[in-house]
Amino acid sequence: MIGYRFKPVLTVFDFSKILTALPRASLHNLPLVSTINENSTTLKGTFRAASLRIVSFVSIQIILFLHPQLSWCKDGNQFEFTTEAASHERIISIDRTLLLELIKLARFNIQFHQEANRHQKWRALTYATGRETGTAVSFASSLVDLQQRVRGLEDPALISRNALRNVVTTSLVGNAISGSASGLELAQNTWVMLEAHKQGYSPKASVDFVKNIVGTTDTLFDERERAVAAYPLQLQRERRVYELDGILIRRIRQQLLSEFRTWSCHSRGRAWRENTFYSLDALQNFTRMSAAIIGLKGFSQPNVGGTAAVSTMVANSVATLNPIVCGLVGLAMRKYQLKKLSRELPIERPVVLDQSLAELKLKGKDMLNESETKLMEEALSLSDKSERFDVVLDRENREIERLRRVAQQQTIAGPLIGLTSMPASILGTIAFYDYRHDRETTNKLLFAGRISAIAGQSYALIQTPYTMISGMRKNRQLKRRGELPSQLLEERLKNLDRLEAQIISKRL
C-alpha cells in the first residue's frame, strides 16, 4: 500500500536473540512474573523466568509460521506486508517506464506528422502565382487567336500570319511558366522527403522506430503481468486495480499505434498524390510547349503541323486525367501502406473502456495516493482526448489541403478545365488532316475550338485566386481560435513534456 513504511523482515534467530538479551529484571516486570509471591524461593523465580522465555520463543515461531509475510518492527509492535510492498513498487516502476515509452511514441508521431510532409507557407503563394501567371499568358494568346479567327470567318486572307506567330510564341511562354511552377514544387517535395529521411521519418525508418517501441513495451507488459501475478492472492481488490491499469495502458498504446498508422498512411498517400500530379502537370505543360515550338516551325514547314496538333491533343488528355489519376495513385498507396503496417505492427482500433475507467477510479481511489492518481488520470485524459484530437486534426488538415490544392483545381474542376481544351486540339487535328487545303473550313474549326479553350482558361483564372484566398481565410480563422494543425500539435507536445517531467520526478 502506498504510504506505508516497510521494514526488512527479522528472522526467527533475530527474535530469539532479542528475547535472550532481555534483562532478568524486565522479565520480572511482566504481569505473569509480578504475580509471584515475593517470598518465593530464588529457584522458583528462575524456573518461571526460563519457562516464560520458552513459551515466548515458541509463540513467536508459531506467529511467523502462520504469517510469513509479516515482520516485527524494531521501533514498535506493528506488522507490515513486505510481499505486497515489493510487488507494488515493481508494478509502479514498470508503469512509469511504460508511460515514458508511450510518451516517446506520441512525440515521434507528432514530429513525424510535422516533418514528413512539411509544406512551407510561402509555397502556396509562389505556386499559385506561377499557375496564375502561366494561365493568364495562355489566356492572352487564346484571345489574340480568337480575334484573328473572327477576323477571317468571311475571308481567311485577312488573318495575320505575324499575329498567329505571336499567338504560338505567347502560348509557348505560358506553358513554360506553368510547367516550371509544377517542376519547382516537385523539386521542393523531393527536398522535403530527403530531409525527412535524414531525420529518421522515412517510411522504413519510422516503422522500425515504432517496432522498437512495440518490442520494448511488450517486454514491459510481460514483466508487469508477472509482477501482478506475484501479488498476494488475498488482496483481490488491489490485483483488480493493477489489472485495470494494465488494460488502460494497453489502450493508450493502441491509440498511439492507430494514430501512427493513420498519419503514416496519410503521409504516404499525400506524397505520392502530389508528386504524381506535379510530374504529370509538368509533363503536359512541357509537351504543349514542345508542340508550340513545332508549331513555330510549321510556318516555314507546313508538313509538321500535324505533329504539333497531335502533341497538343495528348497534352490536353493528360491534363484532363491528371487530377483523377493522382487521386487514384494516392488512394492506392494509402491502402498499400495500411496493409503493410497491419502485417508489421499489432495495430487494432482501440475500444472504448468507459466501464473499466470508472471501475478503476472507484476501486483505486482509496488504494492510490493523490500524486499517482493525478498522474494516471492525466495520462488517461491524454489518451481519451487523443482520438478526438485526431478527428479534429484530420478534418482541419483535409480542409486546409483542399483549399491549398490550387494546382489540382480540385478533383471535379480539374478534369472540367482539361476537357475544355480537348475540343481545340481535336478540331485542330481534324482541320490539318482533313481540311488542310480548305482555309475557310479550317479557320471555322479552329474558331470553335478556341471558344471552348477560352471558357476553361477563364474558369481556371477565377478558381485559382478564389481557392488561394479561401485557404488564407480558413488559416486565419483557425489560428484565431487556436485550432490550426500546427498549433494543436505544438500544444500536444507541451502536454507531453509536462507529463514526462512529472513521471521523471516521481522516479527520482
pLDDT score recorded for residue 107: 92
Q: What is the pLDDT of residues 105-123, one digit of tens each?
A: 989 998 898 888 787 778 8
Tell me the C-alpha distance between 273 and 103, whole Å: 31
pLDDT score recorded for residue 26: 39
Residues 6+ apart with CB under 8 A from 32: 48, 52
Q: What is the pLDDT of residues 13-59, one digit of tens each?
A: 333 333 333 333 333 443 333 443 444 444 445 444 445 444 444 44
Cell of 315: 497534352
pLDDT score recorded for residue 502: 82
pLDDT score recorded for residue 410: 52
Residue type (1 letter), 420: T
Name the burial class of residue 151, with classes exposed (0-12), middle (13-18) and buried (19+) by CB atoms within 10 angstroms of its CB: middle
Nearest to 504 by CA among 92, 95, 96: 96
First to last CA, the chain: 19
| Beta carbons of 241 and 360 less than 8 angstroms apart | yes
DSSP state letters, 34-90: HTS-TTS-HHHHHHHHHHHHHHHHHHHHHHHHH-TT----TTSS----HHHHHHHHH
Q: Which residues of 300-318 are buried (b: 16+ CB within 10 A; e: fewer)?
A: eeeeebbbbbbbbbbbbbb
Nearest to 74 by CA among 150, 21, 127, 140: 21
Give the helix ranges, DSSP H, for 235-344.
236-298, 305-344
Question: Distances from the Cα of 189 to the Cαs of 10, 69, 132, 265, 487, in angstroms?
Answer: 69, 65, 20, 17, 23
Tell me the C-alpha distance between 346 and 218, whole Å: 11
Return per-residue pLDDT of the chain as tens, 508 residues.
333 333 333 333 333 333 333 333 333 443 333 443 444 444 445 444 445 444 444 444 444 444 444 444 444 334 344 566 777 788 888 988 998 999 999 899 988 988 887 877 788 788 888 888 999 999 999 999 999 999 998 888 899 999 999 999 999 999 999 999 999 999 999 998 898 888 889 888 999 999 999 999 999 999 998 888 877 766 777 777 788 788 888 888 888 898 899 889 988 998 999 899 999 999 999 999 999 999 999 888 888 888 999 999 999 999 888 888 988 999 999 999 999 998 888 777 655 555 555 555 554 555 455 555 555 555 555 555 455 545 544 554 554 455 445 444 455 566 777 788 888 889 999 998 988 888 899 999 999 999 988 998 898 888 888 877 887 887 888 888 887 777 888 888 888 888 888 888 866 5
Tell me the C-alpha distance between 447 and 439, whole Å: 12
| SS3 state at 468 | helix
Cell of 469: 484566398
Tell me the C-alpha distance between 11 and 64, whole Å: 9
Question: Distances from the Cα of 289 to the Cαs of 128, 286, 294, 375, 409, in angstroms?
Answer: 20, 5, 9, 64, 21
pLDDT score recorded for residue 346: 77
Residues 6+ apart with CB under 8 A from 140: 170, 174
Cell of 161: 500570319
pLDDT score recorded for residue 138: 92
Question: Distances from the Cα of 217 to the Cαs of 155, 202, 250, 297, 485, in angstroms?
Answer: 83, 23, 9, 69, 29
Backbone φ and ψ for 173, nearest 5 degrees, come out as -65, -45
User: What are the structural domain ranges in the chain?
Assistant: 1-80, 90-507
Nearest to 72 by CA among 4, 2, 5, 7: 7
Tell me the C-alpha distance between 232 and 230, whole Å: 6
pLDDT score recorded for residue 352: 53
Residue with cell 505492427: 345
Tell me the C-alpha distance between 481 and 479, whole Å: 5
pLDDT score recorded for residue 381: 53
Neighbours of 482 (CB within 10 A): 9
